[in-house]
Amino acid sequence: MWNVLLSFSGLVALIQLLFLPFFPESPPYLLLQKGDKAGCLKAMKQLWGEGNYHTEFDDMMKEKTVTKGTKIMNVLEVLKEPSVYPQLSTMLLLLLSLQLCGLSATASLQESIIPYVSLGVAISELISIIFCSSIIDRFGRRILLWGGYLLMALILVLLETSLLLSDQFLWMRYCSVILIFLFIIAYGIGP
């Protein structure tokens, strides 16, 4: 019943995908990244209701002033920065723990191939981190979340289909592995 269990996460992703367009952008994102003061105040009212949010707005303006001279670093610059090593090691530990999630077992592969699948999962995670960190400033979190959930839902439908057909066509097991890699990349880019 792995396929049913795996499909359940697709249902949750689909529900989130349907409701995401009805939520406003993050007020700090609108103000700090986009420079949209009116959009920031509108989002605050949508999220928190009517009220006076000048204190919060002023705090964000102070943050914008403080970070104005701060250089945005790319992935290689972050990896060379010693002050972020504790956060990077924590993130790496969490990503490596995904190896124990059991996704590789869903494809019903030969035992000799499973280490390569685990290596592929790790590479997929690395690809998604590099890709997401380089495009998040350009597109924003909302679009990445929406697109990530949409891709995850589509990939899970295809994965379910490939798992159902894997007994009839042995090559479908390898398609399942590729879909697992794509699912991890979509998860890393979006949610």
Q: Which of 1, 31, 187, 3 is nearest to 95 (CA)?
A: 187
∠190-177-79 over CA atoms, to 5°?
Answer: 45
Q: Is the predicted pLDDT of residue 21 greater than 60, yes or no?
A: yes
What's the N-to-C CA distance of the chain in angstroms? Answer: 25
Please report the pLDDT score of residue 14 as a whole number: 82
pLDDT digits (tens, 9 = 90+) for 36-68: 888 888 888 888 888 777 788 888 888 877 777
| C-alpha distance from residue 83 to each of 77, 86, 87, 88, 152 (Å) | 11, 7, 9, 10, 34
Q: Which residue has the tokens 């972050």?
A: 78
What's the sign of the alpha-carbon dihedral 28, 32, 33, 38?
A: positive
Q: What's the count of helices (H) and strands (E) in the chain, helices before strands? A: 9, 0
Q: Which of 9, 26, 52, 7 is nearest to 136 (CA)?
A: 26
Q: Is the predicted pLDDT of residue 105 greater than 70, yes or no?
A: no
How many other β-carbons are positioned within 10 Å of the β-carbon of residue 160? 18
Please report the pLDDT score of residue 162 as a whole number: 87
Q: Which tokens go with 189?
A: 């880019």
* H or E segment and range at residue 191: none
Model-wide pTM > 0.75:
no
For residue 185, which amino acid is it? I
pLDDT digits (tens, 9 = 90+) for 107-164: 556 667 777 777 787 787 778 877 777 777 777 777 888 888 888 889 888 988 888 8
Please report the pLDDT score of residue 148 as a whole number: 82
